[in-house]
Structure 1
Amino acid sequence: MTVFAFSRIRRIMALSTLLPMALTACGSGTQASPAPPPDSAVRAVFTATDSDFPNPERGFYHASATGLEALDAAEMARAYAHGYRLIYARINLDDYRDSVLPPAFLNRLEAGFAVARAAGVKLIVRATYNYPQGETEYHDAKDAPLARVKSQLAQLKPLFHRNADVIAFMQAGFIGAWGEWHTSSNNLTTPENRTAIRDALLDAVPPTRFIQFRYPPYIHDWYPNPPGISAALKDNFRIGFHNDCFLASQTDVGTYSEDPATRADEQRFTDALGDAGPFGGETCNPADDPGAIPRTACTDILAEGARYNLTYLNDGYYRRLFHDNWTKGGCMAEVRSHMGYRLALVSATHQKNAARGDTLAISVLVRNSGWARLYNARPVEIILRDPVSGNLRHLEAQGADPRRWLPGTDTTEILKISLPADLPAGNYEVWLALPDADNRIRNDPRFAIRLANADDAAKGQTWDANLGAFALGTRVDIR
């Protein structure tokens, strides 16, 4: 059963007050009627919004018309302007099944990552040795021998590490038609070979990024019991699942077993896996599955999107059967807004006064109404703004990990902010930001998470797109 299914049971209510000494009480209090804050504290209450807006590492993705090595800046700019923050970019290895990757090709891949960074988008990356165009052509698709796959992954490793900031998720790729881990021409789908490629991928892909594999039985063989959230974070669990025929038939066109009992077990497994690792993919044409009964109704996508913790989906395929029906059924707005995480502040409490060199504690109640959690690490930042000069001081909060803000739950966090001794005394506005964790793009507001809160001018609460932060409408006097 997913975290989402237990949302009502596991909901954590806000701590009503915040005392300076309560710096370790995180997410532990529940009460029906919050008491007003003491005179020494201020409390803000926020309103959620149903507005649809883009956010990093989630939502419908745009599939690039070219491979990563030829990523087009104009196409990326158009995608960003249309609200896409995820781009599927294939590494096209068709010409290198029997050779090393030449420096010129690696340089073109480097340039492709730079194009994505400049455009403000992140990538779903998959390396493939073929990309068949038809529903039958894939049977003759060719991949590369195991030794070649491993050597090329070793070549790609430095490239991946240098560009981890704009890699959202890595799909395993390499094996078989479309890199989907079937119909290998080099016997790469044996248990030994696919495990060897998994290990090479885990070594080549930066340790901060997940690798998504195509078939649940393969993942189950490696990890029969997906870890819970605490164990996943502690052990840096990095395995996810991508389903490229989501909802297309009873078996999702071969994704799951034809045996109903086995299929139910596999689906329970991927249900649990979605709590630990990201799930995404695309819908597809069910023509390859005789007697297919596609699940095209709003009730299907809403139920299964929540059950499997759907984080992203291809916006271009297979629209006629799925996306168009969701639009006709009236649920497309809900699909768009609930895919992945959707974070909103419910309330915040902090003391009115604080001294330089001391710790400012801010209690925030955060609601995740999305279908999934945030999978890649991200800091929580408090910004103190001088309302007269406009000067800003960005301070990273300790004591919170947004990856623990689970879908369907309210979470109380005690943010602890060390106030620098050189911070000028004054009365500061308090803002909250969720910037990217990577220093290369941390100060780029396009990569910051926008909170699902409505602006309220009367309370001084507003989202600033140029700052990538939300004003709490509160102030703190720094002495």
Structure 2
Amino acid sequence: MKKFITTGIFAVALLAAVLPGCKKDSSDPDPVEPEKGIAYESMATPFANPERGFYKTLIRKTGEAGLVQSQLNTYRASNISLVLRFFYLDGFKDKAISAEELALFQADLDKIRIAGLKALLRFGYTDDIAGTDAPLAIVTQHIDQLKPLFEANKDVIAFVQAGFIGAWGEWHSSSNGLSTTANQRAVLEKLLSVLPAELMVQVRTPLYKQAIYGTTNPVNSSLAYTADGRARVGHHNDCFLSGGTDYGTYTNVTAEKKFVSDEAAFVPTGGETCPPTGTYSPNCLEGRNEMKYLKWTYLNLDYYPTTISGWRLNGCFDEFQSNLGYRLAAVEGFFPDEVAAGGTLSFKLSVANKGYAPLYSKKTVAVVLKNTVSGTFYDLPLQADLRTIKPELTSTIEETPSLAGVPAGTYSMYLRISDVAVSLKDRTEYSVRLANKDAWVAEHGGINNLSHQLIIR
């Protein structure tokens, strides 16, 4: 024991003698400060965002008046950004659509654009189960006639429902024998051929899509966002939450819902509710579970009224209004306090999707710097594709955009998520708002405050 103590004392003395003469190696790194992030507070308050949420149904038959601008202008105050414009071609079942009618279609879409809304489009010939539609030759002629309309208004068209065949354009009960896979394929392929490549079509049941493409395999990440027809076809269910097969929407309910759920990570789902069947109750729990599972992006506010009013009465309407479609929220950001002029900005931001569905339309994403003295804005483009942020997931945007052209000064930092269309990119109504408390700023086309100041020297 004494030897151990003696050795210990000697070692301490030796260490004391050596340490004063030790010098730090110049190659040793300085202590690294722990990375400090900005935590963002999310919120549950409903608000409008493009291409998602509850929608209003606006139906027009041949000879009826067009949309009323003052009515459209009121919708955003109710957090509505989407309308279904259903054009019945009942006066043109045996002839071309008139120039006057096509002009009215264009006038309606102009009004939708003025109101800061986007449209779901559907065309049909009858709203009577025993009514008549048009023969295939007329349908294809009409689709060709609509090509310029689709191209001119692709900025405000959210999705196109396949339509044209049978009652309500729902692809059944065709008086001209169009409710066959061959004819359905002909209509769908014709529609896809005239639509701008960025627009998606929705069909009424999953079995229709499976039969047309000859596969029960859902669209996956390798096929998504390509020009392949399957990657451009989603689903609309016009008897959602009615119980059982949803009035024939499904045959094998479990398998086909799984197919839609898997596909909806990449192609849109939406529709409207119907009167419930049997003892089924479309209550808050059922609505929440089904919308989450099927990744529901939009729902008719006007039908079925008893279901909608039940949600209001039982306190889940606002929840559904908030969570239909995508709901992106900043989680944490890491940014430098100072950078050199002409260099790059180290930008790292995690974003969560708290909604039921992803984004389906590509957006333009940019860091925005606002000079705190002059008020001048500078946009730094990012390459991030926000469509990849799927429901209940968090993704990190980590990029180093160039600061070229941004002068020295102090800047407030924002995130801008704008429409890719030149006609809409500077309009606040078409920019994506993050679900964060006190973040939204309705200037410079709509931007989200990242609560950080940057000094450029």
Q: TM bucket by the smaller chain?
A: 0.7 to 0.9
Deviations 1:366-387 (A, max 9, x none): 0111110001111211111001
Alignment of 1:314-393 (within 5 A): 314-320=300-306, 322-393=307-378
Question: Relative contact order (C-alpha < 8 Å, sep 6+): which is higher?
Answer: 1
1:284 paired to 2:280: no
Match of 1:296 in 2: 282
CA deviations 1:322-370 (Å, max 9, x no partner) are 1222223322222111111111000111233334443323111001111
- Measured in 1, the distance between the counterparts of 2:113 and 2:150 equals 14
What CA distance in whole angstroms lies between the structure 2 residues aligned with 1:192 and 1:38? 66
What residue number does 1:477 align with? 455
Match of 1:189 in 2: 179
Larger Rg belongs to: 2
Deviation of 1:41 after TM superposition, in Å, equals 7.3
Aligned to 1:31: none
- Structure 2 unpaired stretches of 5+: 1-30
TM-score by length of 2: 0.88
Q: Does 1:240 align with 2:218?
A: no
Instruction: Give the alignment partner of residue 252 of structure 1, picking from 246, 255, 260.
Output: 246
1:445 aligned residue: 428
**Counterpart in 1 of 2:163?**
173
Q: 2:56 aligns with which of 44, 47, 62?
A: 62
The residue that corresponds to 1:415 in the other structure is 399
Structure-1 residue corresponding to 2:219:
227
The amino acid that maps onto 1:43 is G
Percent of residue pairs identical: 36
For the residues of structure 1 that align with 2:339 and 2:127, how far apart are their CA atoms? 60
What does residue range 2-21 of structure 1 map to in structure 2 within 5 Å?
none
> For each residue in 1:402-436, what CA deviation from the matched residue of structure 2 results, as whole angstroms up to 9, or x when unmatched?
0001100111121342223x322212111101111
- Which of 188, 197, 201 is the equivalent residue of 1:207? 197
The 5-angstrom pairing of residues 458-469 of structure 1 reads 462-467=439-444, 468-469=446-447
Q: Determine which of 436, 439, 454 is the counterpart of 2:437.
A: 454
1:70-149 matches, within 5 Å, as 70-132=66-128, 138=129, 140-149=130-139
The 1-side partners of 2:222 and 2:39 are apart by: 29
Aligned to 1:23: none
Contact 1:41 1:350 in 2 (8 A): no
1:433 correspondence with 2:416: yes
Gaps of 5+ in 1: 1-36, 133-137, 456-461
Give the structure 2 partner of residue 309 of structure 1: 295
RMSD of aligned Cα (Å): 2.0
Quick one: which amino acid aligns to residue 410 of structure 1? T
Letter in 2 for 1:131: D
Equivalence for 2:7: none
Q: 1:158 is matched with which residue?
A: 148
Q: Which amino acid aligns with 2:248?
A: G
- Offset from partner CA, 1:292-315 (integer Å, 9 cap, x none): 343322111011010000111000
Shift of 1:200: 0.6
Q: Which amino acid aligns with 2:443?
A: N
1:40: how far off? 11
Change (3 A) 1:211 1:69: farther
User: Shift of residue 39 of structure 1?
Assistant: 5.8
Normalised TM-score (structure 1): 0.84
For residue 352 of structure 2, give the secondary structure of its aligned residue in structure 1: strand
